[in-house]
Amino acid sequence: MELEAMETPCLVLDRGKLDRNIAAMARRLADRGVTLRPHGKTAKSIDVLRRALEPGQGITVSTLKEADYFFAHGITDLLYAVGIAPVKLDHAADLIRRGARLTLLLDSVEQAQAASVKGREHSVVFPLLIEIDSDGERSGLLPTDPRLVTVGQALQRLEGVSLRGVLTHAGGAYACDSIEAIRAMSLRERQAAVTAAEALRAAGLPCPVVSIGSSPTARFAADLTGVTEVRAGVYMFHDLVMAGLGVCAVEEIALSVLASVIGHQPSKGWVIVDAGWMALSRDRGLADPQRDEGYGLVCGLDGAPVGDLIVRSVTQEHGVIARRGGLPLRPEAFPVGGAVRILPQHACATAAMHDRYVVVDGSSAVLGTWGRINGW
């Protein structure tokens, strides 16, 4: 089957680009002697993750549903990299009882106490990492915060829990305005994690794991001394945000949404397609006024961008294609029933709107479909 025969909208994954993106990151971190722990949150698909893993390699997840799914497909080493909510501890304990090596994350004594109660109740031991704030963007403890050692001591003292180390995520890298800024953020990320690890060790506490990572910092990190593992996920697909940051080229983006032309507004220079925010998401990415790419960059069936066409606006099931800056567009070049591919601003958000991938490899010939999961 060819792409143009597929019912739209649907999510298209270029297998060749996927494999090249995976190989590039694996080479980069192997050259630096650091373990890569791929993140499953972008792909949410065993067919994708298997291509990124060596036997026995661990992964990162962002939901316990992902943990269940990947464990059911034979991946046992799982790091749930979101601060643990006590209501999820029964679920986590069940995974551990069934054989998963599931590590959890926290940044407070209260979470440690809740985990201890549930660990003893279920006769399991929860391995735990302490979250470190390396960019001021969300949760975690500053590496110099006295509470870091307090939490570590609680984990060492309480039953049903075990201190395994520290973790940080420099999400602030996505707000950087240059490669130099990303490099600086990667140094800040590493320094925060290593400083926290040294503080725990100085207090006589174990810290075998020093986990950092985001796709931008993983791409540009120059110094990973003291780090034991790097987590990254969107690098497998890339997206317009990554391209805007200079992490990848547009041509390396492996993910797109196939949409059909369903109408025109000639007086406005618009082409209407059947992919709105339910297919593309409402994510505007970097929303760079110097190069506005709206809700996605429009490509032909071959995946190559078509001039300066973007999805300028979306409603639930409609997307409006126009030329960047409102320049005239010839609607006859996009007949009703024709198809386009749209590169996403944020691969995680766009992929979450779909339940499968339509797989191609450098052409419009469909090789098959790969399933994916959503939800929590």
Reply yes or no on whether the pLDDT at 29 is more than 70.
yes
Contact 374, 44 (CB under 8 A): yes
Tell me what pLDDT residue 264 has. Answer: 95
The DSSP annotation for 114-150 comes to HHHHHHHHHT--EEEEEEE-SSSSSSSB-TT-HHHHH
Answer yes or no: do 173 and 135 share one domain.
Answer: yes
3-class SS of residue 331: helix
Reply yes or no on whether the pLDDT at 325 is more than 90.
no
Rounded to the nearest 10 degrees, the angle between the axes of helix 89-97 and helix 109-122 is 50
243 within a domain of the structure (yes/no): no
Question: Which residue among 235, 261, 287 closes a domain?
Answer: 235
- Convert the pLDDT of each residue in 126-174 to its tens digit: 999 999 999 998 999 999 999 999 999 999 999 999 999 999 999 999 9
Query: In which band, very low, low, confident or very high, does the pLDDT at 330 lie, cut at 50, 70 and 90?
Result: confident
- Distance CA(151)–CA(130), nearest Å, equals 8
* Type of residue found at 320: V
> Which structural domain range is residue 367 located in?
3-10+248-371
Reply yes or no on whether the pLDDT at 292 is more than 90.
no
Query: Residue 116 — φ and ψ, nearest 5°?
Result: -65, -45
242 within a domain of the structure (yes/no): no
Number of structural domains (the chain) is 2
Percentage of the chain surpassing pLDDT 70?
A: 100
Reply yes or no on whether the pLDDT at 290 is more than 90.
no
98 within a domain of the structure (yes/no): yes
- Distance CA(220)–CA(298), nearest Å, equals 28
> Which of 44, 122, 86, 51 has the alpha carbon at shortest distance from 375?
44
Tell me what pLDDT residue 289 has. Answer: 67
Report the CATH number at residue 263. 2.40.37.20
Tell me what pLDDT residue 281 has. Answer: 97
Answer yes or no: do 335 and 284 share one domain.
Answer: yes
The CA-based dihedral angle spanning residues 202, 85, 227, 66, taken in that order and rounded to the nearest 10 degrees: 160
Answer yes or no: do 257 and 218 share one domain.
Answer: no
Reply yes or no on whether the pLDDT at 291 is more than 90.
no
Reply yes or no on whether the pLDDT at 225 is more than 80.
yes
212 within a domain of the structure (yes/no): yes
Answer yes or no: do 230 and 252 share one domain.
Answer: no
Answer yes or no: do 263 and 225 share one domain.
Answer: no
Tell me what pLDDT residue 286 has. Answer: 86
Angle at 289 between CA 285 and CA 295, to 5 degrees: 35
Reply yes or no on whether the pLDDT at 288 is more than 80.
no
Beta bridge partners of 165: 129, 209
For 114, 121, 130, 312, the CA distances from 160, given in Å and listed in that order, are 10, 9, 16, 53
pTM over 0.75: yes
Q: Which residue has the tokens 């075990």?
A: 162
Answer yes or no: do 164 and 281 share one domain.
Answer: no
Tell me what pLDDT residue 329 has. Answer: 86
Answer yes or no: do 150 and 290 share one domain.
Answer: no
Q: Are strands 368-371 and 305-314 parallel, antiparallel or unpaired?
A: unpaired
Answer yes or no: do 109 and 166 share one domain.
Answer: yes
Reply yes or no on whether the pLDDT at 287 is more than 90.
no
Query: In which band, very low, low, confident or very high, does the pLDDT at 332 lie, cut at 50, 70 and 90?
Result: confident
What is the b/e burial string over 259-278, where b = at least 16 CB atoms within 10 angstroms of the residue's CB? bbbbebeeeebbbbbbbbbe
DSSP alpha helix (H) spans, 211-361:
215-220, 240-245, 277-280, 347-351
Q: Is the dihedral angle over the CA atoms 81, 82, 84, 89 positive or is it negative?
A: negative
40 within a domain of the structure (yes/no): yes
Tell me what pLDDT residue 115 has. Answer: 98
CB atoms within 10 A of CB 368: 12
Residues 189-208, mean pLDDT to the nearest whole number: 98
Answer yes or no: do 218 and 263 share one domain.
Answer: no
Residues 283-293, mean pLDDT to the nearest whole number: 81
Answer yes or no: do 104 and 209 share one domain.
Answer: yes
3-class SS of residue 178: coil
186 within a domain of the structure (yes/no): yes
Question: Which residue among 235, 260, 286 closes a domain?
Answer: 235
376 within a domain of the structure (yes/no): no
Question: Which residue among 208, 235, 262 closes a domain?
Answer: 235
Answer yes or no: do 194 and 317 share one domain.
Answer: no
Beta bridge partners of 232: 38
HSE-up (13 A, CA, CB side) for residue 209? 25
Answer yes or no: do 283 and 160 share one domain.
Answer: no
264 within a domain of the structure (yes/no): yes
Reply yes or no on whether the pLDDT at 193 is more than 70.
yes
Residues 352-373, mean pLDDT to the nearest whole number: 97
Report the CATH number at residue 134. 3.20.20.10
Cα separation of the two ends of the chain: 33
